[in-house]
């Protein structure tokens, strides 16, 4: 009698952080563990998170060094005992981070394992160009051993020109989990931008993200008095963690100097239901980074909630937010331009509602977790089919 033997699922060794702390890479790892990839493949996770918080990211101390060594040894154990078909690594864009990544990439290449790396930012080329020759050699050697490099948008593919063969670069835009979306189906859904608060005198502008200068949160604070002068009911919520004490002091000085402390709220990091409630109460979402980005998840969250998005031309953002369709692209470090677009949306509810609807529809069409998982499965399948 012939026995039915279940086909072995390919094993993927995933190297990445899970939250907390919350950042793009940790949320993507969390989303992967929620997705259908766990049904398609045997997922083995090496969690490399540093639970002390975002202030420790990219910084050298003995705790970080000891964690890296422990993670490297744990990786070797998993590589030998689990013999994964694919090693998947979210690569860093700074020297200390990439040296840590090399603890995984070097042994995986020497072991002959298929490697897939995922870039969640847009600054890797600048990092490479500014690195020392020995560091560039290390990046070249490790990247020559990868089967696929995943980027977040077609505009980011040139980052790896000369480092990875063009045929080995895959574009997979981000996607976020269903529990990040409003519960109402599209046909029954009304955008937050169309809703009026109970007292009828609140127009909320929301920022989500780390409160660091390169993300543009100080530009939002500087735009606040310009907006308040023309929108007396404007209120601002800037939610996120402050990495550095000096920036917290600078933010406080900016608020006091601008005379807007009574209309500014900075509640810290918000997640889950608290974040969903914040977006439901908002009318416009602003996120104006001035440094290279990938495809910020906070923009997708705002689109899922049905908000017009005002942002800047960084990374894959302009492939996500279409200028004049579901938001506006403004110059970086330009509080006046930011304020102008917020005031325009305040004065034109019809335009605001049209952009809100476009954000929601664009999210559902392109940036759900199911779509992301399908794209990732396709990439892994292609790699597994190669000799």
- Which residue in this structure is represented by tokens 């917020």? 342
- Both 153 and 223 in one domain: the answer is no
- Both 156 and 188 in one domain: the answer is no
- Both 235 and 99 in one domain: the answer is no
- Both 183 and 317 in one domain: the answer is yes
pLDDT of residue 294: 94
| Burial class, 183, CB count within 10 angstroms (exposed 0-12 / middle 13-18 / buried 19+) | exposed
- Both 104 and 213 in one domain: the answer is no
Cβ pair 372, 172 in contact under 8 A: yes
| Burial class, 96, CB count within 10 angstroms (exposed 0-12 / middle 13-18 / buried 19+) | middle
Residue 172 CA: distances (Å) to CA of 101, 316, 376, 381: 21, 11, 7, 14
Mean pLDDT across the chain, nearest whole number?
89
pLDDT of residue 185: 42
Q: What tens digit of pLDDT does each residue of 183-194 get?
A: 454 434 455 555
- Both 304 and 333 in one domain: the answer is yes
CA gap 116, 111 in Å, rounded: 14
Q: What tens digit of pLDDT does each residue of 229-261 get?
A: 999 999 999 999 876 666 677 777 877 877 788
Q: What tens digit of pLDDT does each residue of 362-386 get?
A: 999 999 999 999 999 999 999 999 9
194: how many CB neighbours lie within 10 A of its CB? 14
pLDDT of residue 188: 43
Q: What tens digit of pLDDT does each residue of 54-112 get?
A: 555 556 677 778 889 999 999 999 999 999 999 999 999 999 999 999 999 999 999 99
Domain count, the chain: 2
With a pLDDT cut of 90, the percent of the chain lying above it is 74
pLDDT of residue 154: 97
Domain extent at residue 279: 178-366
pLDDT of residue 186: 43
Q: Between residues 55 and 304, which one has the greater pLDDT?
A: 304
Residue 341 — pLDDT band, cuts 50, 70, 90? very high
């Amino acid at each position: 009698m012939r026995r039915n033997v279940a086909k072995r699922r390919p094993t993927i060794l995933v190297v990445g952080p899970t939250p907390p702390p919350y950042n793009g890479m940790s949320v993507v790892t969390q989303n992967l563990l929620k997705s259908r990839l766990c049904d398609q493949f045997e997922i083995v996770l090496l969690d490399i998170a540093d639970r002390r918080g975002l202030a420790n990211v990219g910084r050298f101390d003995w705790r970080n060094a000891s964690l890296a060594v422990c993670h490297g040894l744990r990786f070797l154990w998993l590589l030998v005992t689990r013999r994964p078909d694919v090693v998947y690594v979210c690569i860093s864009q700074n020297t200390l981070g990439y040296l840590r990544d090399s603890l995984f990439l070097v042994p995986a290449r020497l072991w002959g394992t298929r490697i897939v790396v995922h870039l969640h930012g847009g600054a890797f080329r600048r990092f490479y160009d500014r690195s020392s020759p020995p560091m560039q050699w290390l990046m070249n050697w490790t990247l020559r051993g990868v089967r696929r490099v995943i980027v977040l948008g077609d505009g980011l593919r040139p980052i790896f020109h000369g480092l990875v063969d063009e045929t080995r670069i895959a574009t997979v835009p981000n996607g976020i989990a269903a529990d990040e979306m409003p519960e109402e189906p599209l046909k029954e859904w009304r955008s937050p931008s169309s809703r009026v608060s109970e007292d009828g005198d609140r127009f909320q502008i929301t920022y989500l993200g780390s409160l660091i200068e390169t993300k543009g949160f100080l530009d939002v604070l500087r735009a606040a008095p310009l907006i308040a002068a023309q929108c007396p009911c404007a209120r601002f919520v800037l939610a996120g963690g402050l990495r550095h004490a000096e920036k917290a002091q600078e933010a406080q000085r900016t608020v006091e100097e601008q005379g807007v402390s009574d209309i500014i709220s900075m509640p810290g990091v918000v997640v889950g239901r608290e974040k969903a409630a914040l977006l439901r109460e908002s009318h416009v979402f602003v996120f104006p980074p001035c440094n290279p980005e990938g495809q910020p998840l906070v923009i997708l969250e705002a689109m899922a909630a049905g908000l017009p998005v005002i942002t800047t031309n960084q990374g894959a953002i302009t492939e996500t937010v279409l200028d004049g369709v579901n938001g506006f692209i403004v110059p970086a470090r330009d509080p006046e331009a930011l304020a102008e677009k917020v005031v325009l949306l305040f004065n034109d509810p019809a335009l605001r509602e049209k952009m809100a609807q476009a954000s929601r529809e664009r999210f559902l069409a392109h940036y759900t977790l199911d779509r992301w998982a399908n794209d990732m499965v396709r990439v892994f399948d292609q790699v597994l089919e190669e000799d």
